[in-house]
């Protein structure tokens, strides 16, 4: 196989697809909007009654973020990652890189795996996604030459598997709750408990303990300790996620969206080339299905007074709601990209998107210094709605800093490092230096 090594260079600025960068910038901000709940509050990412407040503005914040952003931002991030990896591979193969293309592709993912581990265990973000992206990225390689129609079908099959698993979990949880209530009844009547009922009762007590104010206070105090104590405290949680998530969630949740991303890219949907009417219909259909589903989920959870089982039940339609809203977001963002309005904002968002890895890690570094004992130790100190001020401040900072950085440098610092490691070659970073060399 012929390999032209000389032409194997990273994508130049002029070749980049602006709409994808803008979308990546928007999605990165949406990711922070959701992640901040896990970064600053104990066990409150899903259930607002555990910590962070569940009344007034805190409740409105929970409703709004769950209606529009929960799961949808992760879906779009995965979608863009899939498209991005396909663009890289496609470009290298078109240049006749041959087997070298696969070499660069897999090396890129292996380094991402390492970045993910550092991000989770040392920068201390347990909701870290790079590790999962790396593993799912490996699988994406096989699907690169597949027709968009087939990719969409496989993505839907994967999503359906996830939904079926959620349903199976709900059935199991419903049985468990039933056993708990039988155990309580038996106990009040003085009847002996069977082994199954005893196990259910112990598990329920453990669950209640995890959600208790005492457990939250303990969690908060552990997060407020000095850096190495927090590392030790979070390591078992990270190990647990590393073991469980790859087969329980990542294949259905992440891989499906990556494949959808490649399909959308091949169909020229992500490059804003389709007519206005297409994106308008996409947004309308996506929001109609997605927001309706999300509304019923949220209304049900609130009606059930945030019961543990209500979260499990609404998980059955979770993927339907989030993927549909995500498709709605794609339509809306592409309409925004096609329009001529707010060009300065688009430019800034595009810069944020170009430096997505740096900005993503920066979120965790900022959170590390604000919330853990390595910095101010403010974990658990803010209410849910107050966290929005921090999120907005970070958005503004990155909207200003990213275009300024890219004015002087070709890549974000981490993007530069990642490229150098992937291509095993030092690329110029400073724009001035590159110009001088030329």
Partner 1 sequence: MKKFLKQFFLILISVITITIITVYIIELVHELLICINHLYQMVVNEMLVGTNYVDKVILNMNLNKHAA
Does residue 222 belong to the site contacting partner 1 (CB under 8 A)? no
Does residue 153 belong to the site contacting partner 1 (CB under 8 A)? no
Distance in angstroms (rounded) separating the CA atoms of residues 169 and 313: 9
Does residue 117 belong to the site contacting partner 1 (CB under 8 A)? yes
Q: Which is nearer to partner 1, 81 or 411 (CB)?
A: 81
Does residue 115 belong to the site contacting partner 1 (CB under 8 A)? no
What are the Cα distances from residue 244, in Å, to 132, 143, 312?
A: 11, 25, 17
Residue 269 CA from chain centroid, whole number: 21
Whose structure tokens read 């922070």?
A: 32
Q: Which is nearer to partner 1, 67 or 102 (CB)?
A: 102
> Exactly one of 121, 252, 382, 409 binds partner 1 (CB under 8 A); which one?
121
Say which residues have a Cβ less than 8 Å from residue 410's Cβ, sequence separation at least 6: 13, 416, 427, 428, 429, 430, 431, 434
Does residue 138 belong to the site contacting partner 1 (CB under 8 A)? yes
Q: How far is the CB of 261 from partner 1 (least distance, A)?
A: 18
Q: Which is nearer to partner 1, 135 or 374 (CB)?
A: 135
How many residues bind partner 1 (CB under 8 A)? The answer is 17
> Exactly one of 23, 27, 50, 113 binds partner 1 (CB under 8 A); which one?
113
Which residues between 300 and 319 bind partner 1 (CB under 8 A)?
none
Instruction: Provide the 3-class DSSP secondary structure of residue 430.
Output: strand
Q: Which is nearer to partner 1, 138 or 300 (CB)?
A: 138
Q: Which is nearer to partner 1, 45 or 121 (CB)?
A: 121
Does residue 416 belong to the site contacting partner 1 (CB under 8 A)? no
Please calculate the CA angle 140-86-101 and round it to the nearest 5 degrees.
90
Say which residues have a Cβ less than 8 Å from residue 109's Cβ, sequence separation at least 6: 134, 137, 138
Name residue 409's beta-bridge partners.
430
Does residue 86 belong to the site contacting partner 1 (CB under 8 A)? no
Contact mark string toward partner 1, 229..248, x via CB under 8 A: ---x--xx-xx--xx--x--
Does residue 258 belong to the site contacting partner 1 (CB under 8 A)? no
Does residue 99 belong to the site contacting partner 1 (CB under 8 A)? no
Angle, in degrees to the nearest 10, between helices 387-408 and 356-371: 140
Distance in angstroms (rounded) separating the CA atoms of residues 361 and 370: 14
Does residue 81 belong to the site contacting partner 1 (CB under 8 A)? no
Q: Are 223 and 43 in contact (CB under 8 A)?
A: no
Please calculate the CA angle 358-360-361 and round it to the nearest 5 degrees.
65
Which residues contact partner 1 by CB under 8 A?
Answer: 113, 117, 121, 131, 135, 138-139, 141-142, 232, 235-236, 238-239, 242-243, 246
């Amino acid at each position: 196989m012929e390999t032209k090594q000389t032409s194997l260079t990273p994508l130049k600025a002029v070749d980049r697809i602006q709409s994808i960068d803008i979308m990546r910038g928007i999605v990165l901000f949406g990711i922070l909007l959701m992640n901040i709940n896990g970064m600053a509050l104990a066990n409150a990412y899903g259930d607002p009654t555990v910590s962070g407040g569940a009344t007034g503005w805190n409740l409105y914040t929970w409703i709004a973020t769950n209606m529009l952003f929960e799961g949808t931002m992760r879906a779009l991030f995965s979608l863009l990652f899939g498209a991005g990896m396909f663009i890289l591979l496609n470009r290298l193969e078109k240049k006749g890189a041959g087997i070298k293309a696969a070499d660069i592709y897999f090396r890129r993912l292996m380094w991402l795996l390492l970045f993910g581990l550092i991000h989770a265990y040392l920068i201390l973000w347990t909701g870290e996604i790079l590790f999962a992206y790396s593993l799912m990225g490996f699988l994406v390689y096989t699907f690169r030459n597949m027709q968009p129609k087939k990719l969409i079908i496989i993505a839907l099959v994967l999503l359906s598997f996830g939904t079926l698993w959620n349903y199976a979990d709900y059935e199991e949880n419903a049985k468990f709750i039933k056993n708990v209530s039988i155990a309580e009844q038996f106990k009040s009547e003085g009847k002996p408990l069977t082994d199954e009922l005893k196990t259910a009762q112990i598990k329920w007590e453990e669950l209640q303990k995890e959600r208790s104010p005492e457990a939250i206070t303990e969690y908060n105090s552990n997060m407020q300790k000095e850096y190495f104590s927090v590392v030790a405290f979070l390591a078992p949680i990270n190990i647990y996620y590393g073991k469980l998530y790859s087969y329980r969630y990542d294949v259905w949740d992440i891989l499906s969206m990556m494949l959808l991303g490649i399909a959308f890219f091949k169909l020229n949907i992500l490059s804003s080339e389709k007519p206005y009417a297409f994106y308008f219909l996409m947004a309308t259909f996506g929001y109609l299905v997605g927001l309706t589903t999300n509304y019923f989920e949220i209304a049900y959870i609130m009606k059930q007074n945030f019961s543990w089982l209500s979260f499990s039940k609404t998980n059955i339609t979770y993927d339907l709601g989030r993927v549909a809203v995500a498709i709605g977001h794609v339509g809306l963002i592409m309409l925004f990209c096609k329009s001529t309005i707010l060009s300065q904002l688009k430019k800034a968002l595009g810069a944020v998107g170009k430096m997505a890895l740096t900005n993503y890690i920066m979120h965790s570094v900022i959170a590390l210094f604000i919330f853990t004992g390595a910095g101010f130790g403010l974990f658990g100190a803010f209410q849910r709605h107050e966290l929005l001020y921090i999120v907005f401040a970070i958005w503004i900072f990155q909207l200003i800093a990213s275009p300024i950085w890219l004015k002087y440098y070709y890549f974000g610092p981490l993007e530069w490092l990642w490229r150098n490691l992937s291509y095993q070659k030092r690329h110029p970073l400073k724009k001035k230096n590159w110009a001088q060399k030329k």
